[in-house]
Structure 1
């Protein structure tokens, strides 16, 4: 509920009156200004759903019950009717105000209101004696008045329990008397009241009630009048809008009619006068009156009677009529028109005629011309002895003239003039079998695409011994003018047997000539190729338009001489082009074929393939004329160059690839063997590239490789070759090496350049590079041998410390082979279960109890014996075998710890490589679920180096593991990056101080470091474990410095699973460790007492 503050009083007209009425803002708080002659008191009414708390500056009056009146049963319908009136919040109107003034004067009362009761307020449409707009509905007397049809009278509000506690009664304006007559609409809905108010009790007679109701009816009449006015205004707006739409529609239709090519007019049925004419009508006739007689006078005299007769029939039948006639234009010229008159009916009665007249002068002229031409054609057919026929498509019958029947071999008596009718099947039977399909195809094509067709075919002459004669048929399809449907086919046949015989002879005689022409055309016409014709004797050269536009030239841009053509050839291609041309002119080659470049008009060169042949020679065999073509092969050349480039370069980085690498290396070593200086080969492998690729994705990995390639090219000297061998492997060939120091200096520059941060789409990453260097011997190693040596040196660099370089040294082969053998045996041991876990106990100093064990991986080799973790753990991390090893260790440690007492924990080391791979969390949860070990009994030990790689992701992973109860320990603290920020970012459960500090704890500096770590851990709420405690003195010192737990040989060596179980179950072993601790503590106390 909101807050309402107003300091505007009701403004009671009589100054002697005091009190106030709240101005409604919301049902939560009403501030009233109470005016009196002596002073103002500010009252605040906090209106709640059931009571109001009324207080003043002087004191508290207490809680007052607020009587909430019931809602009318039709409240929703009542509110809807009230809003439909659209009278709320409208400006004051004189007739409503006049009613209030009249009522107040009639009853001699100070206040009269026309009140409309809304959902949460009463709003005064008219008022007399106050200057406010309304009050909250909860305080309104009118809320009760609308519950009844008669007048509600409250003679003394203080005596009425419904209103006695009302703030409007208790405070200002101090209402005592109220009378309200409901405003009942025609629908029976009570929307408000006409009420009168006094600040003194008084009575109200039945006459006064009746009078008040009469005035209420007057108010209702004004309200209904208000509603009627709104409806009238809406209807008027609809009328105006409809008339505007009609006017717009009429304007559109007038514009449409004026744009038609026909004359359009509307004629009254009564007297034939023109009611409407379009622009075409007016421009054709000019000044013409609206009477029908004037229009009839414009008809051609020869057509007048016919048109009048058609018009009379149309009037009689009241049907649409169509007639063609000539109408006189305003300049006196008559033109043929097609007139259509359409009756317009209203209530089944023709009231108007809509007329259109389309100018068909051109059509009539064409039709007359066609008829004349047809007559002439008929005469020509008779004179030429042509056969005429007609095929009726509906009846499927062919009618043939006597000459046509004789030509077609149909039965026809000599000298007969009768036409011969036959079926289509009989007509087709005389057509040569090989020609029937072409005849049918020609007809189908004309039926689909046009009107006429021509075809030559053979027909059998039965009266001439079944000999065949050639006919040429000319045919036309006649269609229905209205529908376009084919009705019949008319045709004319001519006997062309003699022409065909002559034609066949010509074809035979011209066959060889045409073959020669076709061969020449094939040489000259190569589709869109550019053509040229060279007169060798004069040097004149002709170019086709295509030959010029192919190079961007216009006719006349190139001098038509061979010298100008030679000038267009690229200088590098000129000698080769002239050689090929000379060879062909001398007859050495059968054709001139040459690829070269020509200068285009833009100045750029275009690759072309030129082909030509000598087509004319003199008696001595000298070339006289040569013709040829050329085509644009620029795209092909570019593609070939691109293919050649990709074959020798890495697509991603643009660096030379292995092919170029081997060529350069072999070339440089050959020079070394010839005594031309020294050379060296650097093999590079990026460190942590796989981590970036897996974390940020392959696009980021590709971007990293491109940036590294650019840095390498910028780092090497001129003449050195940088290549990408594949993946994250690169190589550098140092072409000129004065001293081995030059190779190491370059290697260090490469390490420094690669080590700079890289920006991969907003992600700053850092990678390193390991480099193996092999210097070519004086006798020049073979390329494969030098590459192998550099790879061995690279292997040593990666095995050493990474991000460094190593030179090849004799003996590396054996070391590498030994390492590779160890890697093979380790993989076999992983697959066959050759690893084991040993468990070293952790002792809590506070109560001398064993609180858990750390699981330590061991490799009991069958022939080598126990291989130390410092040997196989780095190898496992480098080869990736740490992933399956780590997963196995986690599963095995949880399984073993599940059999121990519930108060013992197991600690398992997690490698940084495991964090780089997805699925570590799933692996942990799987091990816990499979073993049934409670999560709080598992502690994962990580080193600071894990946090450096991707601190944000690692810490998020640790938080998720910790949220399920797994404990996290920071192992070997102080030996890694030692960033205290990691201790702030993640709440480790345990901090383990590295054994290097414990072994030197007698040194004040080392002791100070241990003390500082303990202080930090105490502030962070973490326990501190001292690793590698091996002497009594060390145990005493770590105890004195505040370490909470200890671990080391002094307590127990790492134990196998069986001995660890025995250690847990044997009280003597635990007691032994306990006594050792007690002994150390006692020695320490004796020393303190002695001091």
Structure 2
């Protein structure tokens, strides 16, 4: 075999490599390829075997044997001459010194003194050379044969296969990363777009406007939901409509103007010449309702200036337009009114300038035409008036000012005598803005009329005193200003106030009188009413009172009233009406109907109410006259079982000539509804024969009462929420079942059931969701059991089951298994899936007892054992359970007492930083020094605390105590506190952390909360969110007992923990290579994520050396110190610090 080498330059080879898009860029050494090199070195007996890969810039060593792990500097040039040659095959140079191309190469002349080289190119599927597998020896190798070359090529194929696999994995990972990146971007954009659209919809709904956009190119209009709402149309039909359809919604008189507006826009003129516009149009809603809308628009242009679209908003301003129109009409009416009133009027602003006046003022005061105008000084008018009465203007102004200061809206008035004998009344009223309105009224004629009225009043008073009615006059407030003689005799006092007059009325009439008087006085209308008035002797008599509005002598409004005694008439009328009303009220209140049965003819008459209640038709008859029918016709609507009872009672009453009473049901002819009635009949006897001639009675509608009685009977023995039998009924059925067993019947079993995690679901989703869950559980229990079995809700989340007719114990266990499987199915609550479980205790009869109470107690004990075994399981009662469970209950009671006495304490175990060999933190661990049992292990009492819910209170105490103790340390070590899964379900956890830090004064970054993976198993999203909020406070989060859970790596991906604590089970077996590899992988994971790795349970020097070698950052264990009381901690820290200095 001839020596073969490449002649092409390295640059050309590099270009070929760069053309390969799948060339592996990762040139880090790999152990697998190192093993190939070692194999080649042994196989071909050469000291150096290399696998260099050519990168786009320079060759890099992928693997090698005998080269010291680095690519020599001279090898780059050698690759340029050898690897990138013309030949695509292997290269073998048995003596490099003899080859003139390489005799001066550093590979030959340098310290290596290479004399032999053999290399096989590494080629991917693309045909491009990626690198080479090469052999180098320091002596010539003439013995290197073709068989050796074939073996070298085989090894090259192995390397090439590995590189191709590497490339495929890299391509797949790159593709996945790109897909994830694109998906993330799209998700974010969709979320942002949805949020923006939601905000726009909310803004439109709150502000009451809509948005439209006209696409010029497509001549289509996009409407928002707000636009559809303004137009009174369905949003789904109008999301994008043709422009002509859009224009059709405008009022016919406005439609062409809107179109002209759009044409001007497209031409670049008109309202859109500056790219914006505002206008009001009318639209027509379905049904013909016309609304006024205000539109604001803007032009969207392309970069070349052409119009792409027109966008705008629309607001319903119908009410505003109506208000504007009303204001214009009001102003017009005001102007007409000012000119039409018979008084002169002038309004003066705060600057004493005339703002409004009418022509009547000029005529009354004989003013020059140019004296009053808008803005004229009011002093000119004062001087004009002063020329006739110098004191009146000053007096009036002073009254106006005093009224404004003291009463806000009060005014002033006065009289002014003109030279020609005309009498004017001048009034001034201050306004809130500082203006004043003055009016001048000609009261000459009124003054004469009032004088004439006073003269005639004396004559009328004399006449009124002789009338039989009471006559009186009141002012606007209701105070009596006049009364005739009969009024005085009736009341024995001549005058009194409106309040006193109302008090003289019958108590039952007073509220009506007050309301009538107020309403009628406001309307200023005549009115009459009837009322009982107390006479001076205390007797109430009916009167008809008539009131008419009048003007008093001073011109103020008042009322003229008369009262005619109609007591005799009213008394007779009331007596008549009362008789009919009492009968109707009795029937309506009792839902009763009257009937009359003629025994001889068999015909029965039903009153209108009786027929209505029974659903009997009244068509073709006068409803008020009732219904006449035969007894046979009436009996058709009675159920058969009730018909016999009704006939028997009727026969008895006829035979005994007595009254009858019977309850019966009637089927409604139209709806089929069954109604209950109670019939009462009074026998009317023939006066001659003494036989029953007819019955007169009534039917009471008692359906509601019957339903209540049935409901009460049901609720007395059933649970109101689930409809299951309650505890009382459960005990009754249990006694019946046990009685059957005592009498020789087959066996039975009692199952006590308790839902797992019900309280957590109830607290998370609310009590309504808890009720729904209990109803669903009840339905699932019914579905699992046989018809002969009994399931009951005993209270809360506790259920009981009675299984009867059992041949053996296995049947009850199988039923329990089916129950557990049925309850374990996910439940959808409030849009979320929730999982619950159920624990079951089973006791059998007769083997476990034949009395109800002991049997139930045994099932409860088995239930307690099932819950202690991890829940969601079933346990059958065994004889030894009593003592064990009683001991556990006793321990729970003692734990509660210890918490009350504060007997529990915290011990502290240091955590050592391997980089500095100093104490970096301390973990707080709970201890229970029992006065008689000694030190109780945490594994015992913590488990009880978690089962009973005491762990929340214990955990909160430990958090507060640890923070308080850590704040007093002279060193700055962090304090680590364990937090249980139940504490994370407590909504007060975050507030508890904040309060503990605040009360102790401990810096948040010195507190480290340790959680286990069990915390994350339930409701992972909520727990992760809580962890992020705690991290935001500055608190550090550590993952404890890492590696013992189910989804450790998934949790690390969801939350960047500050620390990972490797479980002590791995440290105990770290001498095992596989365990050490796992620890090494965890350390590498921590390095890449910037997470501190702590090894727990280090007890020996050998373990310490191994975890240090694997790269752990911190260690914790008995090798340094066990957990010690707070008083001994400072000594331990000092000892470890001295050990560090000594080291």
Alignment partner, residue 535 of structure 1: 598
Alignment partner, residue 127 of structure 1: none
How far, CA to CA, are the matches of 2:828 and 2:1108 in structure 1? 48
Alignment partner, residue 823 of structure 2: 754
Alignment partner, residue 345 of structure 1: none
**Alignment counterpart, residue 1093 of structure 2, candidates 1017, 1024, 1030:** 1024
Tell me, yes or no, if the aligned pair for 1:577 and 1:596 is still in contact at 8 Å: no
Alignment partner, residue 984 of structure 1: 1053
How far, CA to CA, are the matches of 2:544 and 2:859 in structure 1? 90
Secondary structure at 1:676's aligned position in 2?
Answer: coil
Q: Deviations over 1:846-868 (max 9, x none)?
A: 34333322221111100011111
Alignment partner, residue 608 of structure 1: 677
* Cα drift, residue 1047 of structure 1: 2.1
**1:525 and 1:589, CA in 2 relative to 1: closer, same or farther beyond 3 A?**
farther
How far, CA to CA, are the matches of 1:475 and 1:698 in structure 2? 62
**Alignment counterpart, residue 396 of structure 1, candidates 464, 475, 478:** 464
Alignment partner, residue 808 of structure 2: 739
How far, CA to CA, are the matches of 1:942 and 1:454 in structure 2? 83
Alignment partner, residue 904 of structure 1: 973
**Alignment counterpart, residue 932 of structure 2, candidates 858, 863, 873:** 863
How far, CA to CA, are the matches of 1:871 and 1:748 in structure 2? 29
Secondary structure at 2:614's aligned position in 1?
Answer: coil
Alignment partner, residue 637 of structure 1: 706
Alignment partner, residue 288 of structure 1: none
Alignment partner, residue 501 of structure 2: none
**1:559 and 1:829, CA in 2 relative to 1: closer, same or farther beyond 3 A?**
same
How far, CA to CA, are the matches of 1:478 and 1:1038 in structure 2? 109
| TM-score w.r.t. length of structure 1 | 0.51
Alignment partner, residue 736 of structure 2: 667
**1:647 and 1:394, CA in 2 relative to 1: closer, same or farther beyond 3 A?**
farther
Alignment partner, residue 549 of structure 1: 612
Alignment partner, residue 824 of structure 1: 893
Tell me, yes or no, if the aligned pair for 2:914 and 2:1114 is still in contact at 8 Å: yes
Alignment partner, residue 809 of structure 1: 878
Tell me, yes or no, if the aligned pair for 2:966 and 2:975 is still in contact at 8 Å: yes
How far, CA to CA, are the matches of 1:478 and 1:912 in structure 2? 82
* Cα drift, residue 759 of structure 1: 1.3
Tell me, yes or no, if the aligned pair for 1:600 and 1:606 is still in contact at 8 Å: no
* Cα drift, residue 602 of structure 1: 3.2
How far, CA to CA, are the matches of 2:1105 and 2:896 in structure 1? 43
* Cα drift, residue 708 of structure 1: 2.4
Tell me, yes or no, if the aligned pair for 2:505 and 2:531 is still in contact at 8 Å: no
Question: Bigger shift: 985-994 or 1013-1022?
Answer: 1013-1022
**Alignment counterpart, residue 698 of structure 1, candidates 754, 767, 772:** 767
How far, CA to CA, are the matches of 2:870 and 2:790 in structure 1? 27
Alignment partner, residue 1037 of structure 2: 968
Residue 856 (structure 2) pairs with residue 793 (structure 1): no
**Alignment counterpart, residue 1081 of structure 2, candidates 996, 1008, 1012:** 1012
Alignment partner, residue 628 of structure 1: 697
Secondary structure at 1:1065's aligned position in 2?
Answer: helix
Specify every segment of 5 or more residues in structure 1 that has no aligned partner in the other structure, as ranges: 1-88, 92-132, 134-240, 250-390, 401-421, 431-436, 456-472, 504-510, 1076-1091
How far, CA to CA, are the matches of 1:767 and 1:474 in structure 2? 77
How far, CA to CA, are the matches of 2:814 and 2:709 in structure 1? 40
Tell me, yes or no, if the aligned pair for 1:774 and 1:790 is still in contact at 8 Å: yes
How far, CA to CA, are the matches of 2:690 and 2:612 in structure 1? 34
Tell me, yes or no, if the aligned pair for 1:850 and 1:1070 is still in contact at 8 Å: no
* Cα drift, residue 964 of structure 1: 3.4
Alignment partner, residue 934 of structure 1: 1003
* Cα drift, residue 730 of structure 1: 1.9
Alignment partner, residue 796 of structure 2: 727
* Cα drift, residue 829 of structure 1: 0.9
Alignment partner, residue 562 of structure 1: 631
* Cα drift, residue 879 of structure 1: 1.8
Alignment partner, residue 854 of structure 1: 923
Tell me, yes or no, if the aligned pair for 1:598 and 1:607 is still in contact at 8 Å: no
* Cα drift, residue 649 of structure 1: 3.1
**Alignment counterpart, residue 1120 of structure 2, candidates 1031, 1038, 1051:** 1051
How far, CA to CA, are the matches of 2:1046 and 2:545 in structure 1? 100
How far, CA to CA, are the matches of 2:1033 and 2:529 in structure 1? 92
Question: Bigger shift: 1048-1057 or 821-830?
Answer: 1048-1057
Tell me, yes or no, if the aligned pair for 1:673 and 1:780 is still in contact at 8 Å: no
Alignment partner, residue 220 of structure 2: none
How far, CA to CA, are the matches of 1:554 and 1:633 in structure 2? 21
How far, CA to CA, are the matches of 1:493 and 1:1045 in structure 2? 107
Q: Deviations over 1:29-77 (max 9, x none)?
A: xxxxxxxxxxxxxxxxxxxxxxxxxxxxxxxxxxxxxxxxxxxxxxxxx
Tell me, yes or no, if the aligned pair for 2:838 and 2:872 is still in contact at 8 Å: yes
Q: Deviations over 1:460-488 (max 9, x none)?
A: xxxxxxxxxxxxx9999999999998799
**1:703 and 1:428, CA in 2 relative to 1: closer, same or farther beyond 3 A?**
closer
**1:902 and 1:398, CA in 2 relative to 1: closer, same or farther beyond 3 A?**
same
Question: Bigger shift: 1002-1011 or 746-755?
Answer: 1002-1011
Specify every segment of 5 or more residues in structure 2 that has no aligned partner in the other structure, as ranges: 1-267, 271-304, 306-324, 334-458, 469-483, 493-503, 521-525, 533-541, 552-556, 621-626
Tell me, yes or no, if the aligned pair for 1:398 and 1:427 is still in contact at 8 Å: no
How far, CA to CA, are the matches of 2:960 and 2:588 in structure 1? 81
How far, CA to CA, are the matches of 2:1096 and 2:563 in structure 1? 114
* Cα drift, residue 617 of structure 1: 5.0
Secondary structure at 2:889's aligned position in 1?
Answer: helix
Tell me, yes or no, if the aligned pair for 1:393 and 1:486 is still in contact at 8 Å: no
How far, CA to CA, are the matches of 1:690 and 1:476 in structure 2? 71
Residue 714 (structure 2) pairs with residue 651 (structure 1): no
Secondary structure at 1:975's aligned position in 2?
Answer: coil
**1:1063 and 1:637, CA in 2 relative to 1: closer, same or farther beyond 3 A?**
same
Alignment partner, residue 682 of structure 1: 751
**1:476 and 1:1045, CA in 2 relative to 1: closer, same or farther beyond 3 A?**
closer
Tell me, yes or no, if the aligned pair for 2:590 and 2:701 is still in contact at 8 Å: no
**Alignment counterpart, residue 877 of structure 1, candidates 940, 946, 951:** 946
How far, CA to CA, are the matches of 2:1029 and 2:549 in structure 1? 87
How far, CA to CA, are the matches of 1:478 and 1:940 in structure 2? 86
Secondary structure at 1:398's aligned position in 2?
Answer: coil
**Alignment counterpart, residue 1000 of structure 1, candidates 1062, 1069, 1073:** 1069
Alignment partner, residue 956 of structure 1: 1025
* Cα drift, residue 732 of structure 1: 2.1
**1:1069 and 1:812, CA in 2 relative to 1: closer, same or farther beyond 3 A?**
farther
Alignment partner, residue 853 of structure 2: 784
* Cα drift, residue 650 of structure 1: 2.8
**Alignment counterpart, residue 1108 of structure 2, candidates 1034, 1039, 1043:** 1039
How far, CA to CA, are the matches of 1:1049 and 1:628 in structure 2? 97
For 1:284-433, list aligned pairs within 5 A: 395-398=463-466, 424=486
Residue 1129 (structure 2) pairs with residue 1066 (structure 1): no
* Cα drift, residue 984 of structure 1: 1.2
Tell me, yes or no, if the aligned pair for 2:663 and 2:676 is still in contact at 8 Å: no
**Root mean square deviation, CA, Å:** 5.0
* Cα drift, residue 932 of structure 1: 3.3
* Cα drift, residue 698 of structure 1: 2.3
Secondary structure at 2:700's aligned position in 1?
Answer: strand
Q: Deviations over 1:402-440 (max 9, x none)?
A: xxxxxxxxxxxxxxxxxxxx964899899xxxxxx999x
Alignment partner, residue 943 of structure 1: 1012
Alignment partner, residue 925 of structure 1: 994
Larger radius of gyration between Structure 1 and Structure 2: 1
* Cα drift, residue 801 of structure 1: 0.6
Secondary structure at 2:923's aligned position in 1?
Answer: strand
